[in-house]
Chains A and B, each alone.
Chain A
C-alpha cells in the first residue's frame, strides 16, 4: 500500500502547481490593486464593487447565464432521444453510435468552431442553402443563434454520453415490473425511465452548463465582436486591458456562481432519485 501512496506524489505536486496555485493567485489578485512605490499591493474590494456598480458587466453576466441555460436546455431536449436510442440499440449498434457521437471531439474544438464560422458566414453554405429554399437576406453569423448553435454542437456529446450512461445501467426488470403493474410505454417512460435517468441528466448539465457559461472563443468566433459573454470580459481583462485584479474578481464571482448552481442541481437530483442519489 505504501508504495502505491508514493505514486500519487507526482500528481499531488502537479495539481498544486497547476490547480491550487493559480486558484490562490486568482484569490489574491481579486482582492488587491496595484499600489504605489511604498506598498506593491493594496487590499481592496474595489474590483467587486466595480463589477456590481457598472450595469454593463451585470448585463454580460446575465446574458452568459441565459445563453448557457438555453444551450443546456437544447442539449437535453436533443440529446435525450439520441441517448435513449443508443441505450435501446443492440450492443454492436450502440457501440458504433457512441463512436459517432464522440467522433467530432477528436478534432480540436477551436478548429470545428472555425468551420462553423465559414459555414454560417455571409456567403457561406448555410446562407446559400436558405436562399435556394426561398429564404432570403438572412444573417446567421454574429447572431445569438450562431452562438447557441455553436455551443450546442460543441457540448452535446457530453450530455448524450452522460444520459446514455445512466440509461444503459437501467435494470430492464424495472420496465417489466412497470408493465406488469399496468403502465403502458409512455407511463413507464415518465414514471420509471425518466426519473431513474436524472443522475445522468444532472451530470450532463454540469458538463454542459459550466463550460458554456464561461466559454469565450465560441461567442468570439461566431458572435462577432459585439456579442460579449462573461468569458470574453475575463479574457479581455487579462489579455487586452492587463487588469489582472479585475479579471480575477470576475473569475471568482463566476466560480461562486458555478458552485451555487452545482449545489442546486445536486439537490434537485437527490430530491428526484432519493436522498443522496446513487453515488457512483
Chain B
C-alpha cells in the first residue's frame, strides 16, 4: 500500500534514546507513509514501545528528529500532536461512561454538542457497540474495552493511530477476531496505523510493513512476505517463525553448499566461498521416499502440532565416541571410625606434566569421612610417583590418622575420534565408578559427560561443538557392578519439517525442496 513516490508522513531521523546511561534506541531511521499499517515487531526490551512513545510525544528522544508531514515535531507536546494512541491497558477513564470516554477528545476541542453526539455514535457503530453508550467502562469485557479505546482514539480523526500491544490482554480467539477487525477498521478509516507487538503471527497477518527490531536497532524493514521469505539475517529468520538455519558456504552466484552438498539457489551477490546462513522453512521441505530427495536422512522425532507433524529428520549422524565405564560396589577402607575411598582413573600422557594433587583427588573421587557422624575428613597426604609414559601408577591417599587407600592411575594415549569428513573431533576417557555414584546422580547424562571429560571441537580447534546425545547400555536405576559402554555423540545435521503425513521414527526418508525454497543470508557478525 505504501507508495514510494509519496512523501513519507512520519520520519524518524537517527532517533537515540538513553535511560540512565543505558542506550535503548541506537539511532533509528524509519519512514512511515500514509495509509500504511506498520508493525514494530520485536521481543520485549527491543525498544519498540519506546519508539512508539517518542512518536506519541510521551517521551523525549535523547538525539534525532521526529518529522511529521515534513515538519519537525520533536518539541511538540503530546496534546498538540495529530496522533492518538490505543494504550496497552486501554486506560479508559473509570469515572466516565462509554459515551463520555469516546467524547473526551471532542469535548476538549469544544466541538458543538450535536456534532459530538453524531461523531461518537458513528464510532460506536464502527466498533459494533451501538447500545453501549450509557454503560460504565468498568462493566465491559476486555474485548469491548479494547474497542472503546480504539473508538476513543479514532473519533479525533487523527492522521496516525498508535497501538501499543493492544491485543496482549485478550485470549487467543478474541485476539484473532480483533486482528481481523483492526485490519478492517484501518482499511475503512484509511489512516496510518503504527502497531507494536512481540507476536510475529499478529505482525504477519495485519501489516503492510513490518519493522523487525532487536536491542534498539532495526534488523529489517519489509512486507510480511519479504520478511518471511527473505529474512535479512539469522535473528529475523528465527524470530519470524520456526526455521531451519544451517551454516553454508556460497560457492558462486546461485550455488550454495550446505549439509555436505552443493545446491542450486536463487541468491546472488555474495563473494565466492563466503560463509553464509541458509534458511529453509519447515513447510517448504517435502518428505519423499529415500533416494528420491536431495538429501537422505532418518526420522529422529515427531511432534503433533494440531494441524501438522513437526518431524525432525537427521541427514547426517554426529561424530561419536564410545568409552568404557567400570562399575564396582563401593568398598571404602575402614579403620576405627574413619573410612576412605577412591577410584582408579585414566589419564592422558599430555595431562601428566600439569598434574596437581587436587587434580588427582578430584579425578579419583577420593574422600574420607567419619563413619559415626558422616562428617567429611580432609585427605592430608597423597603419595604417588608418575612418569609421562603409558603405564599404571599407584597412588595412595591418607588422612592425618593414617587411614589410607591405594588406587591406580592408568596413563593411556589420548582417546579421541576424528571425523575428517565433517571436521569434528570428539574426546572422552574411560572411567571407574561406584554403583552409588550412578544411582545417586540426579543428572546422569551431564555427570557422565563430566566424569568422562567428554568434549568435542572442530578440527581447526576454533569452535567447541556441543555433545547432544549420551547413550549407554545399562539401566541407571538397577545398575550392577560390571563394565558398560557409554557413547557420546555430537549433533548431526537436522531438518525440521512440517508435514501432514505421519512418518515412523527411524524410517529412512528423502528430503525434497526447490532452489527458491533456499534463502541465503549474510552470517551475523558474532559478538
A-B complex is real? yes
In the complex, A275→B138 CA distance in Å? 11
Q: Is B109 on the interface with A (CB-CB < 8 A)?
A: yes
Q: A278 near B94 (CB under 8 angstroms)?
A: yes
Contact A273 B95 (CB under 8 A): yes
Chain A residues with Cβ below 8 Å from B80 are 182
Q: Digitize A184-201: 1 where CB-to-B-CB distance is under 8 Å, 0 elsewhere.
A: 100100011001100000
Whether a CB of chain A sits under 8 angstroms from the CB of B58 is yes
Q: Which residues of A contact B152 (CB under 8 A)?
A: 181
Interface residues of B in 85-113 (CB under 8 A from A): 85, 87, 89, 91-95, 97, 104-105, 108-109
Tell me how far the C-beta of B93 lies from the nearest C-beta in chain A, rounded to whole angstroms. 6
Tell me the residues in window 60-110 of chain A with beta carbons closer than 8 Å to chain B beta carbons: none
Q: How far is the CA of A53 from the CA of B192 in the complex (A)?
A: 75
Report whether A179 and B78 are in contact in the complex, using a CB–CB cutoff of 8 Å.
yes
**Interface pair A182/B109, CB less than 8 Å apart:** yes
Using an 8 Å CB-CB cutoff, how does the interface string of B47-61 with A read, 1 for contact, 0 for none? 000000000111000
Q: Is the CB of B156 within 8 A of A174?
A: no
Query: A180 near B: Cβ within 8 Å?
Result: yes
Residue numbers in A under 8 Å from B105 (CB-CB): 181-182
CB distance from B117 to the nearest CB of A (A): 17
Q: How far is the CB of B108 from chain A (nearest CB, A)?
A: 5
Q: Are B95 and A195 in contact (CB under 8 A)?
A: yes
Query: Are the CB atoms of A180 and B93 closer together than 8 Å?
Result: no
Give chain A interface residues in 154-207, CB to chain B under 8 Å: 171, 173-174, 176-184, 187, 191-192, 195-196
Contacts of B87 in A (CB 8 A): 173, 176-177, 180
**Chain B CB within 8 A of A260 CB:** no
If A173-B89, A176-B58 touch, whether A181 touches B95 (CB-CB below 8 Å) is no
Which residue of B57, B58, B94, B108 contacts A181 across the interface (Cβ within 8 Å)?
A: B108
* A192-248 with Cβ < 8 A to chain B: 192, 195-196
Residues A177 and B93 in contact, CB atoms below 8 Å apart: yes
Interface size class of A (residues with CB under 8 A): 20 to 34
B241 at the interface (CB under 8 A from A): no
Please indicate which of the listed interface residues A179, A181, A182, A195 has the most CB atoms of chain B within 10 Å of its own CB. Answer: A181
Contact B95 A183 (CB under 8 A): no
Q: Taking A176-B58, A191-B104 as contacts, is the C-beta distance between A171 and B91 under 8 angstroms?
A: yes
Q: A179-B77, A180-B84, A181-B156 in contact; A174/B91 too (CB < 8 A)? A: yes
| Distance between B387 CB and nearest chain A CB, rounded to angstroms | 69
Task: Please tell me if the beta carbons of B85 and A180 are within 8 angstroms of each other in the complex.
Answer: yes
Taking A183-B104, A184-B77, A274-B95 as given, write out 16 further A-B residue pairs in contact, using a Cβ cutoff of 8 Å, ordered by the A residue number: A177-B87, A177-B91, A178-B93, A178-B104, A179-B58, A179-B78, A179-B79, A180-B85, A180-B153, A181-B152, A182-B108, A182-B156, A183-B79, A187-B108, A191-B108, A274-B94
A-B pairs, 3 with minimum CB distance: A181-B105, A173-B91, A177-B91
Q: Which residues of B contact A (CB under 8 A)?
A: 56-58, 77-80, 83-85, 87, 89, 91-95, 97, 104-105, 108-109, 136, 138, 152-153, 156
